[in-house]
Amino acid sequence: MTPPPSTIVPPVVSLAVRVLTLICLFISIIILTTNTKTFEFTDYSSYKIKFNDYEAYKYLLATTVIGLVYTLLQTVLSVLQVASGNRLGGDIRFHIDFFADKIISTLLATGAAASFGMTLELKENFDDYEMHTFKNKSNAAASLCLIAFVFGAISSTISAYSLPKRA
Amino acid sequence: MTPPPSTIVPPVVSLAVRVLTLICLFISIIILTTNTKTFEFTDYSSYKIKFNDYEAYKYLLATTVIGLVYTLLQTVLSVLQVASGNRLGGDIRFHIDFFADKIISTLLATGAAASFGMTLELKENFDDYEMHTFKNKSNAAASLCLIAFVFGAISSTISAYSLPKRA
């Protein structure tokens, strides 16, 4: 018995979830990479803090970029499927999607978790009014990554329920 | 058509994976909660650092305890299944296991990620020889949580492949 040719939900629903993931990841990357804080001192010297001064935020960037590239690929495949009515890749594609979705959604969860932990620690040890905006923007980027994880987990659930039938 | 009464792997394999998860989580909790560092000063005063001085390690404890309680429950259910040959809970149990395994394995991944991020930051900003053992023990606890996540992800994959057939 061959498995059904499509996933358990209409392809357009899968596509919508992918697009929402993409939007969250894209905005998260923009916010994270443009987040800087410059301290001006009275002697005209200055010190600039950037996201890549912190290991956790570098990891967040890595996970969101990997998530973005993967989701972009899946979005293109979904658009092709909605347009043509055919699902590329056949049977093996269900298994690949299942594992890839699982890995990517977990990666996004870890990126958000590491960043929230970092921001909490910054808040406790470095509670400077000047750093307020920097911390809030970092939290915004991590929150968008968390929302992207939720959409990724929905995609992952769809792909699990779309796995070919058991013998 | 009713789904097969058992999971896609023999119940004893599922049970073995649960037991390995349990062992990792149990050792992780022991290492984490007994990890302290006392600084003795020349005036006989002292300062004690404990895992719960750091938000990320408190979160690690929360995730490992939740993971332990859940895995213990699943282990008991698996033992009953291996002993009696019957799987408790019927059809709905496959869906519950699928979602619960997904949530718990993701939680464990986030606990490990937040803690690794924290330890890296401690290493950069607080690179004191005295703190060496404290950081290494924290990393050991997070690593065991990561290994528990890998076993949890295997359980989660088994439960996804064990989902009832699509109509």
SS3 A67: helix
How far is residue A144's CA from residue A128's CA, in Å, rounded to a whole number? 24
Average pLDDT over residues B67-90: 91
Say if B156 falls within a structural domain. Answer: yes
Task: Please tell me the predicted confidence (pLDDT) of residue A101.
Answer: 96
A46 phi and psi, to 5 degrees?
A: -145, 160
- Residue B72 covered by a domain: yes
- Nearest chain B CA: its distance from A138 CA (Å): 15
Number of domains in chain B: 1
Residue A34, in any domain of the structure: yes
Instruction: Let me know if residue B34 belongs to a domain.
Output: yes
Cβ contacts of B150 within 8 Å, gap of 6 or more: none
Residue A106 maps to a domain: yes
Q: What value does the mean pLDDT of chain B take?
A: 88
Is A74 in the B-facing interface, judged by CB distances under 8 Å?
Answer: no
B163 neighbourhood in chain A, CB within 8 Å: 160-161, 163
Q: Which residues of chain A have pLDDT under 50?
A: 1-4
Are the beta carbons of B112 and A109 separated by less than 8 Å? no
pLDDT, residue A67, reads 97
pLDDT band at B128 (very low <50, low <70, confident <90, very high): low
Q: CB–CB of B163 and A163 under 8 A?
A: yes
Greater pLDDT, B67 or A36: B67
ipTM over 0.95: no
Query: Is B3 within the bounds of a domain?
Result: no
User: Is A110's CB within 8 Å of B113's CB?
Assistant: yes
What pLDDT does residue B1 have?
Answer: 42
- Select from A142, A155, A20 the least CA-distant residue to A98: A155
Cβ proximity of A15 and A75 under 8 Å: yes
Candidate from B3, B109, B166 with C-beta closest to A106: B109
Distance (Å, whole) CA A134 – CA A141: 11
CB hemisphere CA count around A149 (13 angstroms): 23
At B39 the three-state DSSP class reads strand
- In a mutagenesis test of the B interface, which of A106, A119, A125 is the best target, namely the one with the most B β-carbons within 10 Å? A106
Domain enclosing residue A75, as ranges: 13-161
Q: Does a structural domain hold residue B145?
A: yes
What is the number of CB-based contacts under 8 A between chain A and chain B? Answer: 85
Q: Is residue A2 part of a domain?
A: no
The mean pLDDT of B101-117, rounded to a whole number, is: 95
A119 min Cα distance to partner chain B (Å): 10
- Of all residues in chain A, the one with the smallest CA distance to B3 is A166
Tell me which range, A65-79, B32-46, B131-145, is most confidently predicted by mean pLDDT. Answer: A65-79
Find tokens 């009275």 and name the residue. Answer: A42
Q: Largest Cα–Cα distance in chain B?
A: 77
**DSSP states of A21-46 as a string?**
HHHHHHHHHHHHHT-EEEEEPTTS-E
Mutate to test the interface with A, among B52, B54, B55, B149 (most CBs of A within 10 A): B55
Percent of chain A predicted with pLDDT > 90: 57
- CA-CA distance, B163 to B87, in Å (whole number)? 14
Task: Identify the residue with better confidence: B119 or B148.
Answer: B148
Q: What is the DSSP code (8-state) at residue A89?
A: T
| Neighbouring C-beta atoms of residue A85, cutoff 10 Å | 10
- Taking the Cβ of residue A163 and every Cβ of chain B, the question of whether any pair is shorter than 8 Å is answered with yes
Token look-up 């406790």 returns A124
Question: How many whole angstroms from its chain centre is CA A71?
Answer: 9
Would you state the pLDDT for residue A89? Answer: 82
pLDDT of residue A165: 66
Indicate if the pLDDT at residue B45 is higher than 90: no
Q: Amino acid letter at B68? A: L
